[in-house]
Amino acid sequence: MLQTGFTNRKNLLWMPLAVASALLVGVLATATNAGASSIPSGWTCTGSCGSLGADGVVSLSPIGNSSYQYVTTNEGTSGVGTLPSGALGSETNGSALATSLFTVTAGTDLNFYFNYVTSDGAGYADYAWAELFDSSNNPVALLFTARTESTGSIVPGTGLPAPTATLNPASVPIQSGTTWSPLGSSSGTCWASGCGNTGWINSDYTIAAAGSYYLEIGVTNWSDVYYDSGLAMDGVTVGGTPINPESPVPEPSSILLLLTGLCGGACLLRRRVIA
């Protein structure tokens, strides 16, 4: 019986420490992954999406936010990311990210920045897009397209429907560099000619009719599932008002404070058990 009581006391001693360790692991995991996995509240992701700070060839956008949103074909879902209006055929897997609904009056301006990154080149022309939908999920306007090309401009995307937004710059030849963590194992790689990134491009569109809408972006592998591509987006504003608030990342000081509190509680219980 004495041995059993001692064993129970040992369990009481180590239980808070175990809880503290488990919670610490969870908090550290959140701090490590929050910037690469969270999306703004109310937004919807199908496939692989997230939020991230400056990383590889994708700097922070001209807006000045400390993070941006992205979609990627890396760990994407089969059949997702295909252009809703004017699909090419042979799309394989990808991802899509939709904002929450917003209500506007006629003539309201929709503005944002995007940056397309692709590790796939000649013969396997991946692409990305942005499209405006109404609250009944009807496509209203194809805002931009970007597609892997060996030479010339990759925005707008060759072979895709003409976009309706005003793009600045209007056409963009590929820039070298594919190092970007959302591409996974494809980061820093390049298949043949045409891979690289666009840098940040501004998209500006005037919504003609009053109503409720949402913006959706997508990216897809084409013809195969190898050598991934992705699209970063930031600074979405409607009538000058942001609709993508940044997702907070736990501060290191907060993590240390939590750990101190947990350990303090564990040590206090330990003294009580020994006493």
Residue 20 belongs to some domain of the structure: no
What is residue 198's predicted lDDT score, i.e. its pLDDT? 95
Q: How many CA atoms lie within 13 A of 146 on its CB side?
A: 35
Residue 258 belongs to some domain of the structure: no
The string of pLDDT tens digits covering residues 192-207 is: 988 999 999 999 999 9
pLDDT at 26 over 50: no
Report strand pairing: 201-207 vs 241-242: unpaired
Residue 83 belongs to some domain of the structure: yes
Which of the pair, 122 or 108, is modelled with greater confidence?
Answer: 108
Asked whether the beta carbons of 168 and 192 are under 8 A apart, the reply is: no
Residue 195 belongs to some domain of the structure: yes
Q: Count of domains in the chain?
A: 1
Residue 156 belongs to some domain of the structure: yes
Residue 234 belongs to some domain of the structure: yes
What is residue 244's predicted lDDT score, i.e. its pLDDT? 60
The string of pLDDT tens digits covering residues 131-161 is: 999 999 999 999 999 999 888 889 999 889 9
**pLDDT band with cut points at 50, 70 and 90 for residue 43:** very high
Residue 76 belongs to some domain of the structure: yes
The rounded mean pLDDT for the chain is: 81
Prediction pTM value: 0.77
CA distance 149 to 175: 11
- Domain with residue 232: its CATH number is 2.60.120
Residue 111 belongs to some domain of the structure: yes
CA distance 119 to 228: 6
Measured from the Cβ of residue 176, the count of other Cβ atoms closer than 10 Å reads 9
Which residue range forms the structural domain that includes residue 84? 35-246
